[in-house]
Amino acid sequence: MQTYADVTNMEIAVGKSLQTPAVGSAMFGAAAAGKEKGGYASIIEAAAHMSRAEQSMLQT
């Protein structure tokens, strides 16, 4: 991941979950449901509440 961060010149956050694709799907489902139905108003809000980063790789 460090090489990818270096090549793209971006910070890369590594997800803590071993099921990151499933968590991403759940986030989009929660955003699609909307706040009125117990979800979130946007994917940004859903990600802020539902995801965790294990570590960050910084470009060097």
pLDDT, position 13: 82
pLDDT, position 60: 62
Q: Is the pTM of this model over 0.75?
A: no
**Tens digit of pLDDT for each residue in 15-36?**
788 898 999 999 999 999 999 9
pLDDT, position 28: 97
Cβ pair 56, 12 in contact under 8 A: yes
Per the structure, the complete domain to which residue 52 belongs is given by 2-57
pLDDT, position 40: 97
Summary mean pLDDT of the chain: 88
| Total domains in the fold of the chain | 1
Cβ pair 33, 45 in contact under 8 A: no
